[in-house]
Structure 1
């Protein structure tokens, strides 16, 4: 998994259309409104106003997911973080929310109900954490 990025979007939550457009931006790397609009309308069962795409791109920029570049009178958008970094951030937030339960018995009961593959994965994570902390202490 990718490391946590230095930049974090102001709002991690995105709606379905925002998520769809964000996926297009990650795929194409740099987009115009027309690029995104054409991609969405490639599905004959879809309808979406050009201005709606502009609104969503601007909203994703305000939330901190995208950067907007202006060249003359045209605008392009590009991601501020990669898709892998976004997944890492979302996993980090979900883990923090789970641990915020604060009740060790609840966390232990959950961990006790995991299958063997999950337990092995948790053991591997614990070993990796130990190695990272030990390396940090040695510096």
Structure 2
């Protein structure tokens, strides 16, 4: 299980090309502009300027998703969060938006439209919440 990381990017929203390039970086771990550019151009139906890749890498760095290292004259980028951590952050943000509705009746109204698999997932989540609450009580005792 992946927990919510202590570090979070400054800006969570990503454009389609930013998300695509971030996925490439997660696959390769550490990349140069050339690595990303070649990966994208490996699709014969794609065109993308080398400078566009540089711009996106810079933006992802500014948003806090990547770190840039310079060795001699070569720049390389690596992710500051794993794919799993990014998914945990996204799930947390979605849950916060959902809970911000604040009206239990509105939230509960969704229960009627859930299939049995979703209900089982919610029950498993509720069980984990009860276990976490009980563990906190024991720590504070």
Normalising by the residue count of structure 1, what TM-score does the alignment of the two structures yield?
A: 0.95
Task: Say yes or no: does 1:110 pair with 2:80.
Answer: no
Normalising by the residue count of structure 2, what TM-score does the alignment of the two structures yield?
A: 0.93
The equivalent of 2:9 in structure 1 is 9
1:37-72 Cα deviation digits (max 9, x unpaired)? 000011111111111101100100110111111112
**Distance in 1, Cα, partners of 2:135 & 2:104:** 28
Further displaced range: 125-134 or 59-68: 125-134
Q: How many residues align?
A: 139
Superposition RMSD in Å: 1.1
Q: SS state of the match for residue 61, structure 1?
A: helix
The equivalent of 2:21 in structure 1 is 21
How far 1:121 moved relative to its partner? 1.0
Further displaced range: 106-115 or 57-66: 106-115
How far 1:102 moved relative to its partner? 1.5
How far 1:113 moved relative to its partner? 2.3
Which residues in structure 2 correspond to 1:57-136 (within 5 Å)? 57-136=57-136
**Distance in 2, Cα, partners of 1:72 & 1:35:** 17
How far 1:136 moved relative to its partner? 2.5
How far 1:110 moved relative to its partner? 0.8
Unaligned runs of 5+ in 2: none
4+ residue segments displaced more than 3 Å: none
Unaligned runs of 5+ in 1: none
Q: SS state of the match for residue 77, structure 1?
A: strand
